[in-house]
DNA sequence: CGATTCCCCTGATAGC
DNA sequence: TGCTATCAGGGGAATC
């Protein structure tokens, strides 16, 4: 389940592999993947030729990231947006034989230096062609996004102000991408554990100091996870097909009823925002 | 405004 | 063997 560290790892891998490569040809196996999921039923007519024409014969000049969205900047002024959602993968290899070509490969990019595939078992992800910079900046997927966790605007004070305004559970706030982007189910639980705060605490009940612990935990957990190329719990892979190595450092996620690595008591499992949530009833206050 | 629930989709797993 | 139910959880949308 790609969250910010996984998406960032894919982006960094792709920069090494495909930056400055030319997109010669694109094979589209599942045209619906070029639309946002919410439009797939109401917009059955998909102009695949327009999608291909906009992207083929261009050169990849830059690969950026906003929240969990990867942004390819092309030399023809167009952009390509990719969201991996739950099971999406962007995989590159010089040889096609080294890639997992199956029914889940929705897009095949034939590049000047190899092959890039967009593979997504559950089809929640998307790959959009963006006509120009104006369309990019005004695109709905970027509206209502909160601060990047590593931006200078994201401060302890900012987080404290946001939490003071909220009567929601702290984990719901962390999952809410309009406050600060990047944390999904895995890292929310890990952040709460590191900050020693129970995930069901009401946001505005956190003290200034607790908020500081939470703030530091968000940055430290995400930073460490990026350093280890993310967490490969199930489907996630880096762009070269390798697994992320943060899995062994997980303290609570996926460990319900197992002993807490800190105090040894069994970890609790509850549901918050319809998400499985694991925490230590003793270490977290 | 928030909380809840359902939905998109497929694979893994459990139970009968 | 094979059917059915449940779970996984990023994000949008409908409902209360």
Predicted local distance difference test score (pLDDT) of residue A233: 80
Predicted local distance difference test score (pLDDT) of residue A40: 87
A204 touches strand B (CB under 7 A): no
- Residues in chain A, overall count: 285
Predicted local distance difference test score (pLDDT) of residue A232: 84
Residue range A16-66, pLDDT digits in tens: 999 999 999 999 999 999 999 988 876 657 789 999 999 999 999 999 999
Distance in Å, residue A275 CA to nucleotide C6 C1': 14
Residue A53's contacts (CB-CB under 8 Å, 6 or more residues apart) are: none
Residues 183-212 of A with CB under 7 A from strand C: 184-186
Residue A6's contacts (CB-CB under 8 Å, 6 or more residues apart) are: A84, A230, A231, A236, A244
Dihedral sign from CA coordinates of A248, A70, A88, A145 = positive
Residue range A213-223, pLDDT digits in tens: 999 999 999 99
Predicted local distance difference test score (pLDDT) of residue A43: 61
Q: Which of A58, A212, A232, A210 is nearest to A130 (CA)?
A: A58
First vs last Cα of chain A: how many Å apart? Answer: 27
Chain B bases near protein CB atoms (7 A cut-off): 2-11
Predicted local distance difference test score (pLDDT) of residue A44: 59
Q: Which residue is nearest to nucleotide C13 (CA to C1')?
A: A38
Residue A88's contacts (CB-CB under 8 Å, 6 or more residues apart) are: A2, A82, A118, A119, A120, A124, A125
Q: Are A60 and A78 in contact (CB under 8 A)?
A: no
**How far apart, in whole angstroms, are the C-alpha atoms of residue A131 and residue A112?**
22
A76 touches strand B (CB under 7 A): no
Predicted local distance difference test score (pLDDT) of residue A234: 76
Predicted local distance difference test score (pLDDT) of residue A64: 97
- Crossing angle of helices A4-18/A208-227, nearest 10°? 30
Predicted local distance difference test score (pLDDT) of residue A274: 85
Predicted local distance difference test score (pLDDT) of residue A235: 79
Distance in Å, residue A84 CA to nucleotide B9 C1': 14
- Annotated catalytic sites of A, by residue? 2-3, 68, 275
Residue A251's contacts (CB-CB under 8 Å, 6 or more residues apart) are: A190, A193, A194, A260, A261, A262
Enumerate residue ranges in chain A where pLDDT < 70.
42-44
**How far apart, in whole angstroms, are the C-alpha atoms of residue A22 and residue A165?**
48
């Amino acid at each position: 389940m790609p969250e910010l560290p996984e998406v960032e790892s894919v982006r960094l891998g792709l920069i090494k592999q495909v930056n400055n490569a030319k997109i010669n040809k694109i094979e589209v196996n599942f045209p619906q993947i070029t639309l946002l999921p919410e439009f797939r039923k109401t917009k059955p007519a998909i102009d695949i030729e327009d999608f291909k024409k906009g992207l083929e014969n261009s050169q990849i000049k830059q690969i950026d990231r906003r929240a969990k969205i990867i942004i390819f900047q092309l030399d023809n002024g167009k952009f390509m947006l990719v969201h991996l959602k739950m099971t999406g993968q962007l995989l590159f290899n010089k040889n096609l034989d080294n890639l997992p070509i199956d029914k889940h490969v929705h897009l095949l990019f034939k590049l000047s230096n190899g092959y890039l595939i967009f593979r997504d078992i559950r089809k929640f992800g998307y790959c959009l062609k963006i006509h120009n910079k104006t369309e990019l900046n005004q695109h709905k997927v970027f509206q209502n996004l909160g601060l990047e966790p590593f931006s200078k605007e994201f401060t302890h004070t900012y987080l404290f102000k946001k939490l003071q305004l909220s009567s929601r559970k702290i984990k719901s706030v962390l999952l809410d991408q309009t406050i600060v982007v990047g944390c999904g189910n895995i890292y929310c639980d890990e952040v709460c554990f590191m900050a020693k705060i129970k995930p069901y605490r009401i946001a505005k009940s956190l003290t200034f100091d607790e908020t500081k612990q939470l703030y530091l935990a968000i940055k430290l957990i995400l930073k460490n996870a990026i350093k280890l190329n993310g967490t490969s719990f199930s489907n996630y892979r880096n762009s070269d097909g390798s697994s992320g190595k943060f899995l062994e450092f997980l303290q609570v996620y996926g460990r319900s009823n197992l002993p807490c690595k800190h105090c040894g008591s069994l970890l609790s499992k509850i549901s918050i925002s319809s998400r499985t949530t694991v925490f230590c009833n003793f270490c977290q206050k």
